[in-house]
């Protein structure tokens, strides 16, 4: 299949927390068509977050039709399609009717907290060691346990469970007419049920969560032909479905972070940072998660360290919506640029505690170092600095865990449009920060995985050559200035701890 260029395009289905979109890329990685639709957020009780999986499948069909129409092409013009998805969100359905047996439980949902607290210390330790994850309702395993305890039909032999990618693959490949039940290693690594070493479901873990292997998808690599689309489905023809990656891992592939030591940070409402640790499983001693980065076909799996920051872009929203010192997020850069420093002000936006690497739920937000000279411009600048300091906290933990020095950091997401913030990031970390020309890194990563599987792109090297930089920021600060600022940041973080008894 090498050099197979007769079919011109690759499709990428990007199923996210608030919306679903289908994007069509040409051979150079350029977007030639896309369509996006939102779906409902269902919150029946405090802490519960659900999606209607049938509604999501309906949206998938609509966005595929919309993108093909916009690009003015047919389904048969696609060489393959890839899938990328909101990780951890979990679906249960009946393979004889094709209907969900309950609403999907979304990654943000916290209803399984009590079940997880009931696990013994030795069970918790076993889960942590085998999966590389922390014990949290965030992951899919406890959501599956909830279905089995609360949805009687979930125990039937026709019931299947999986993360959202497996539901989409099953439907795209025919559903009740013979859909395949498979997932990839990156999504499986977010369930608390897969052993990082064997890359398979682990019987001891299945027993802890009460989940049967027969209800779960078969685990495959992130880049291979899993099935073909149903000719009666939204494409109207049979196309290889050949790439599946959880969204953060897809962004790693889209940023071509194929080598050990390469990292990317996605700046959204919060931040997700991943560091490729190569074929080595690095178990974190600094509050990070260990996860599968990708497995491309028959090649060995690559692993990653992952750290998340709860409040980054949402700190800017807070300045806008709660304090009213800006009317839109884009104003932050001009306001913060009107002063040369923060006048000693530090803002730690620990609105709901601190995530990695602190994991302190007792922390609350603080603004420290205020004097009479402080203005809203200083606060805006301190908010941008907070984004950068929190990112450095996570990245320093990654370097400490892996022993891999960081040469540069690739970035994507909304706030990367703020040049001042990215320059601060380079100055605070003391390394180059680089942003890609194609910003749609998540969808592009799934497209790359699918295209590599069918020979649309001949190799990782060919894909790597496509990566183009739109902007690079190099540090301008001295080591002394950088370390003095970071020392004060750490001091400010101390002031937020032990706030909630």
Helix, strand or coil, per DSSP, at residue 426: helix
Same domain, 200 and 300: no
In angstroms, the CA 459 to CA 456 distance is 9
Would you call 119 exposed, middle or buried from its count of C-beta atoms within 10 A (0-12, 13-18, 19+)? middle
As a residue count, the chain comes to 501
Nearest alpha carbon to residue 444 among 32, 82, 4 = 82
> Under DSSP, is residue 467 helix (H, G, I), strand (E, B) or coil?
coil
| Residues tagged in the binding site annotation for ATP | 17-19, 269, 313, 317, 414
Low-confidence ranges of the chain (pLDDT < 70): 1-6
Phi then psi for residue 433, to 5 deg, are -115, 130
Annotated binding site: 17-19, 21, 87-88, 138, 247-248, 269, 313, 317, 414, 418
CB of 20 within 8 A of CB of 452? Answer: no
Under DSSP, the state recorded for 103 is P
For residue 401, what are the domain limits? 256-500
Decide which of 238, 270, 305 is a domain's last residue.
238
Strands (E), 247-301: 263-267, 271-276, 289-294
Query: How many structural domains are present in the chain?
Result: 2
Residue 384 lies in a domain: yes
Same domain, 209 and 275: no
DSSP 371-419: -TT--HHHHHHHHHHHHHHHHHHHHHHHHHHH-PPP-EEEEEEGGGG-H
At 478, phi and psi to the nearest 5? -90, 160
The verdict on whether omega for the bond into residue 357 sits within 30 degrees of 0, i.e. cis, is: yes
Same domain, 114 and 191: yes
Query: Binding site membership for sn-glycerol 3-phosphate: which residues?
Result: 17, 87-88, 138, 247
Q: Are residues 367 and 440 in the same domain?
A: yes
Do residues 229 and 173 lie in contact, with contact meaning Cβ atoms separated by under 8 Å?
A: yes
Helices 419-429, 376-402: crossing angle, 10 deg rounding: 50
Asked whether residue 467 is assigned to any structural domain, the reply reads yes
Q: Could you tell me if 233 and 291 lie in one domain?
A: no
Residues 322, 230 within the same domain: no
Q: Which residues are annotated as a binding site for ADP?
A: 17, 21, 269, 313, 414, 418
Residue 99 sits in a domain whose CATH number is 3.30.420.40
What are 344-359's pLDDT values in tens digits?
999 999 887 888 888 8
Binding residues for glycerol, by number, are 87-88, 138, 247-248
Alpha-carbon radius of gyration of the chain:
23
Nearest CA among 16, 37, 14, 40 for reference residue 25: 14
Examine the domain organization and report whether 421 and 376 are in the same domain: yes
């Amino acid at each position: 299949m090498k050099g197979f260029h007769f079919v011109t395009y690759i499709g990428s289905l990007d199923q996210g927390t608030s919306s679903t979109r289908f994007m069509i890329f040409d051979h150079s990685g350029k977007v030639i068509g896309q369509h996006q639709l939102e779906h409902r957020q269902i919150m029946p009780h405090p802490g519960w977050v659900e999606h209607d999986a049938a509604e999501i499948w309906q949206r998938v069909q609509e966005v595929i039709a919309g993108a093909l129409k916009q690009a003015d092409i047919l389904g048969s013009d696609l060489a393959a399609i890839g899938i990328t998805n909101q990780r951890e969100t979990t679906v249960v359905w009946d393979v004889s009717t094709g209907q969900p047996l309950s609403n999907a439980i979304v990654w943000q949902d916290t209803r399984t907290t009590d079940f997880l607290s009931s696990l013994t210390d030795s069970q918790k330790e076993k889960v942590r060691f085998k999966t590389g994850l922390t014990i949290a309702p965030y992951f899919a395993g406890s959501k599956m346990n909830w279905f089995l305890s609360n949805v009687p039909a979930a125990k039937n032999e026709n019931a299947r469970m999986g993360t959202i990618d497996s539901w989409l693959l099953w439907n795209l490949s025919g559903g009740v007419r013979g859909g395949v039940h498979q997932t990839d290693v990156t999504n499986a690594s977010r369930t608390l049920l897969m052993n990082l070493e064997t890359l398979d479901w682990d019987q001891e873990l299945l027993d802890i969560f009460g989940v049967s292997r027969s209800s779960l998808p078969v685990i495959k690599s992130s880049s291979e032909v899993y099935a073909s689309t149903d000719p009666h489905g939204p494409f109207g023809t049979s196309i290889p479905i050949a790439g599946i990656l959880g969204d953060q891992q897809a962004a790693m592939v889209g940023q071509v972070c194929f080598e050990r030591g390469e990292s990317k940070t996605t700046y959204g409402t919060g931040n997700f940072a991943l560091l490729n640790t190569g074929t080595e499983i690095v178990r974190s001693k600094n509050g990070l998660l260990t996860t599968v980065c990708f497995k491309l076909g028959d090649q060995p799996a690559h692993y990653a360290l992952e750290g998340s920051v709860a409040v980054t872009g949402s700190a800017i929203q807070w300045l806008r919506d709660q304090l009213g010192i800006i009317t839109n997020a884009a104003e932050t850069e001009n306001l913060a640029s009107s002063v040369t420093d923060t006048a000693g002000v530090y803002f730690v936006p620990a609105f709901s505690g601190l995530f990695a690497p602190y994991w302190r739920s007792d922390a609350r937000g603080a603004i420290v170092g205020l004097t009479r000279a402080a203005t809203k411009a200083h606060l805006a600048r301190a908010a941008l600095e907070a984004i950068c300091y929190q990112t450095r906290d996570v990245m320093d933990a990654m370097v400490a865990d892996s022993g891999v020095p960081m040469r540069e950091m690739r970035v994507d997401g909304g706030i990367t449009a703020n040049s001042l913030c990215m320059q601060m990031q380079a100055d605070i970390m003391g390394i180059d920060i680089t942003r890609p020309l194609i910003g749609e890194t998540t969808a592009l990563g799934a497209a790359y995985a699918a295209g590599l599987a069918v020979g649309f792109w001949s190799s990782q090297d060919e894909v790597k050559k496509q990566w183009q930089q739109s902007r690079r920021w190099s540090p301008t600060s001295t080591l002394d200035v950088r370390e003095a600022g970071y020392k004060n940041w750490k001091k400010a973080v101390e002031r937020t701890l032990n706030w909630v008894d």
